[in-house]
Amino acid sequence: MSGTIIDGKKNAIDLRRRIKSATNNLKSKYGITPGLAVVLVGNDPASEIYVRNKGIQTKEAGMESLEFRLAEDASEDNLLKKVEELNNDNSVNGILVQFPVPKHMSQQKIIETILPLKDVDGLHPVNAGYLASGLKGMVPCTPQGAALLIKETLGELSGLHAVVVGRSNLVGKPIAQLLLKENCTVTICHSRTKDLKETCLSADILVAAVGIPELIKEDWVKPGATVIDVGINRLDAPEKGPGKTKLVGDVDYNGAIKIASSITPVPGGVGPMTIACLLLNTLIATCAQNNIEFSELGF
Ligand code: NAD
């Protein structure tokens, strides 16, 4: 028997359609168009692709997309000034600085300069604190997308044992918080965890957010578990031709799908949900900044 494939692409399209409709409601009721500003430093090819896709999907959702580019050797001060400018610009509701930034810039300093209310990446310590306290705030996009897929797949999560492998501020910790909020019993594993395989085997929901290709093997998965693979690893794929590459997750997909009841593929699983959740955060931020109840938008 084979597990069900959780279709992140389809879920993301549905979510973006609902966001577009709510954005239209915001425009017609209040005459407000959400604005998302993305700042890119340098010209890392992968970041260029992410930023381009974000711009396209932002416009498709009926929002204003603003793009700002700084040279690779721009000073940190220059970038922080740009962020301050966007903080003070009323037409900008969400600010995202595309990471990674060049080594001479402090990622943490940048995160802390963005106004928490415009921090659509959800990385500001104020927003991390809200999430840890079970309060409303901006939730990081990829974990939010992963949690939406889990809810969509399983419905009620109360009492289930969720094992999250990875404890980064960007992915592992926020996913753990979101699952805790859903009344899961949550175990967080990391590079120093002993008995990783045994812990994974006890998971009803197994989330992998590590960055090691196919770390989680078929015999680490409990029969009937839901497996969420956040990992994105680019590997050489000589079988596809010279110089070709392929994406794989942190889970041995072909093995795990035989054991799991449902599983996200890579690509096409959690990945597509990230930009959709960025747009959702932009809409939520716009409402919060204008004292509008989000529920009024019929989302
Ligand atoms: P990170 O490097 O910041 O964190 C990795 C975590 O894995 C750490 O907490 C570390 O303790 C843990 N770890 C490392 N080796 C381990 C081991 N052998 N056993 C158990 N745990 C181990 O990475 P991140 O930013 O959290 O990203 C994780 C993965 O998710 C990466 O593959 C990344 O590309 C992917 N990612 C995807 C999206 C998306 O879908 N849009 C977004 C962000 C990250």
- Does residue 23 surpass a pLDDT of 70? yes
How far does the centroid of ligand 1 lie from the alpha carbon of residue 165, in Å?
8
Name the DSSP class of 24: H
Mean predicted lDDT score pLDDT of the chain:
97
Whole-number Å distance between alpha carbons of 207 and 177: 13
Model confidence pLDDT, tens digit, residues 52-95:
999 999 999 999 999 999 999 999 999 999 999 999 999 999 99
Mean pLDDT of 9-20: 98
**Residues 6 or more apart whose Cβ sits within 8 Å of residue 218:** 252, 255, 256, 258, 259
Residue 216: predicted pLDDT: 98
Residue 103: predicted pLDDT: 97
Residue 1: predicted pLDDT: 66
User: Which residue stretches of the chain are H helix?
Assistant: 8-30, 45-60, 76-87, 107-113, 125-132, 141-154, 172-181, 196-201, 253-256, 271-289
Residue 123: predicted pLDDT: 98
3-state helix, strand, coil in the chain (%, to 5): 45, 15, 40
Catalytic residue among 57, 119, 121, 222: 121
- Does residue 156 surpass a pLDDT of 80? yes
Mean pLDDT of 235-249: 96
Q: What are phi and psi of 195, to 5 degrees?
A: 55, 45
Residue 208: predicted pLDDT: 99
42 band by pLDDT with thresholds 50, 70 and 90: very high
Which amino acid, residue 221? V
Mean pLDDT of 206-233: 98
- Which residues have C-beta atoms less than 6 Å from ligand 1? 142, 165-168, 170-172, 189-191, 193, 196, 209-212, 230-233, 270-271, 274
Mean pLDDT of 98-125: 98
Mean pLDDT of 136-152: 98
Residue 127: predicted pLDDT: 98
Residue 9: predicted pLDDT: 98
Residue 206 three-state SS: strand
Atom 22 of ligand 1 has which residue's CA nearest to it? 191
Catalytic residue among 54, 82, 173, 222: 54
Q: Which residue's structure tokens are 């340098």? A: 42
Mean pLDDT of 179-186: 98
Catalytic residue among 57, 98, 144, 177: 98
Residue 296: predicted pLDDT: 94
Best substitution site from 49, 96, 232 to test ligand 1's pocket, by max atoms within 8 Å of Cβ? 232
Q: Which of 123, 138, 144 is nearest to 288 (CA)?
A: 138
How far does the centroid of ligand 1 lie from the alpha carbon of residue 243, in Å?
25
Mean pLDDT of 195-203: 98
Q: Which of 39, 134, 36, 52 is nearest to 91 (CA)?
A: 36
Model confidence pLDDT, tens digit, residues 252-287:
999 999 999 999 999 999 999 999 999 999 999 999
Extract the tokens encoding 191: 């590079």
